Amino acid sequence: MSLTVNGLSKKYGEKTVVDNLSFEIKEPGVYALLGTNGAGKTTSIRMILGMLASNSGEVLWKGEPLDAVKCNVGYLAEERGLYPKYTLMDQLVYFARLRGVSKSDALDRIKYWSDRFEVNEYIYPEKNAKGKKIPMKKPEQLSKGNQQKIQLISALLSDPELLILDEPLSGLDPVNTDLFKSVIYEQIEKKKYLIMSSHQMPTIEEFCTDITILNKSKTVLQGNLNEIKKSYGRVNLFVKCESDIKALIKECGITLVNQKESEYVLKVTGEEQANNLLSKMIEKKIMIIRFELREPSLHEIFVEKVGGDSEEK
């Protein structure tokens, strides 16, 4: 079982918004689709789901063209899209039924996820002191975070094999961020296939094995995240010590990126240059609190590849 995206392209008139996007998810796990605003991420997701027609290319699920009507796919859109005039319960049952879930199963699953996301008060009517039901809040009265919970519940009700999450943690407080992460981890443990689009690079590093970075509709970097990092080498050096070492840094020909009190962020050419600095610090008996040589972060790689480019979606 796998997802294959082959040569997807989309144009609006003479403007190309997605240019020959290809990638494959061969095994369960999380695949990251990254890019600046307007790079083509959301358009790509909509073409994968069949919500938007492509000008060329194909999307295969289990070797057959992906049909979101027939395939068990869950989708959390970046934009909130709850119907304002209908109760949350009615909407969730409706969305579940669209995915082929029986009403009884839908009700059981809604209760499970409602408990899990702590949104019972918005889905199940409460009664006042006189025993009358309190009017339910309308969807637009919910906070952005609670609307996000409801829409993730909707995406999970069919127990999808393929789950697509567009900015799933955007706007969440730390408590709800951890809650969403725990649910994502559960989906990974259940051997689901996930595509995640996010601007939060630490989240991508936490969950994703393989990535595609888009810039101005084109793929500028793609592959296994660990292998990509290794290809850059260990060139970022962080030093915390109890002495001023700017003279030693200059003597070793090392680039000082940033300094804050006794902490130094440095750029080196490799381990030899870093070890040279370490030797000089030891020779001068400087108290070293932390000396860490590491590969670049995904944030640093992303900035290098796309710079400050940004366009309309």
Name the E strands within 77-232: 162-166, 193-197, 210-215, 218-224
Model pLDDT, residue 211: 96
Tokens of 20: 């020959």
**Residue 165 pLDDT grade (very low, low, confident, very high; cuts 50, 70, 90):** very high
* Average confidence score pLDDT of the chain: 91
Looking at the predicted structure, is the pLDDT value of residue 179 above 80?
yes
Pairing between β-strand 288-294 and β-strand 236-241 as defined by DSSP bridges: antiparallel
- The share of the chain scoring above pLDDT 90, in percent, equals 77
Amino acid at 71: C
Mean pLDDT of 147-158: 95
Looking at the predicted structure, is the pLDDT value of residue 313 above 50?
no
**Between residues 258 and 307, the one the model is more confident about:** 258
Model pLDDT, residue 311: 44
Model pLDDT, residue 28: 95
| pLDDT tens digits for range 263-293 | 999 999 989 999 999 999 999 999 999 999 9
Q: Which of 292, 304, 306, 174 is nearest to 231 (CA)?
A: 304
**Residue 134 pLDDT grade (very low, low, confident, very high; cuts 50, 70, 90):** confident
**With the C-alpha atoms ordered 199, 10, 31, 98, is the resulting torsion angle positive or negative?**
positive
Tokens 């069949």 -> residue: 50
CA dihedral of 72, 22, 152, 86, whole degrees rounded to 10: -80
Model pLDDT, residue 310: 45
**Burial class of 107 by CB neighbour count within 10 A (0 to 12, 13 to 18, 19+):** middle
Amino acid at 92: L
Tokens of 193: 């296939």
Residue 135: CB atoms within 10 A of its CB come to: 8
Instruction: Give Cα separations from 288 to 74, 264, 278, 304 (angstroms).
Output: 50, 12, 9, 30
pTM flag (> 0.75): yes
CA gap 15, 212 in Å, rounded: 21
**Residue 93 pLDDT grade (very low, low, confident, very high; cuts 50, 70, 90):** very high
Axis-axis angle for helices 174-189, 103-117 (nearest 10): 130
CA gap 250, 276 in Å, rounded: 12
**Residue 1 pLDDT grade (very low, low, confident, very high; cuts 50, 70, 90):** low
**Residue 55 pLDDT grade (very low, low, confident, very high; cuts 50, 70, 90):** very high
